[in-house]
Amino acid sequence: MDPDVSILLHCASWRGLREWQVEVELSSRFNRYASPDTEEHIESMWEERIKREPWLFNGAKFRLHSTNWTTHYSPTSRPHDARGAQVQEKTTRETSGQQCCCSGEKGREEAHKHAQCGGQPAVPLPNTYSGDSPVVKSHSLKGSGCQGEPRRVLLSLQLGLTCYKDYLGTNWSERVGELQRRGAVELGDPQGLLAQPLGVGAVMATADGQVVLLKRSQKVAEAAGLLDIPGGHPEPKAVCNGISEESITIESLQGKEEAVLKEIFSSVLAEIRDEVNVPLSSLSEPILLGIALNHTSAGRPSAEFYVRCFLTADEVKTVYRRGGPEANESTDVVFLKETEWLALDESAPLWSELCPSAKGAIILHQKVMPVNDQNQNV
Residue 59 · residue 164 · CB < 8 Å: yes
Q: What is the pLDDT of residues 3-24, one digit of tens each?
A: 999 999 999 999 999 999 999 9
- The verdict on pTM exceeding 0.85 is no
The pLDDT value given to residue 327: 77
Query: Is 62 in contact with 234 (CB distance < 8 Å)?
Result: yes
Q: What does the mean pLDDT of the chain come to?
A: 81
Model confidence pLDDT, tens digit, residues 200-230 = 999 999 999 999 999 988 776 666 789 999 9
Residue range 301-325, pLDDT digits in tens: 999 999 999 999 999 999 999 988 8
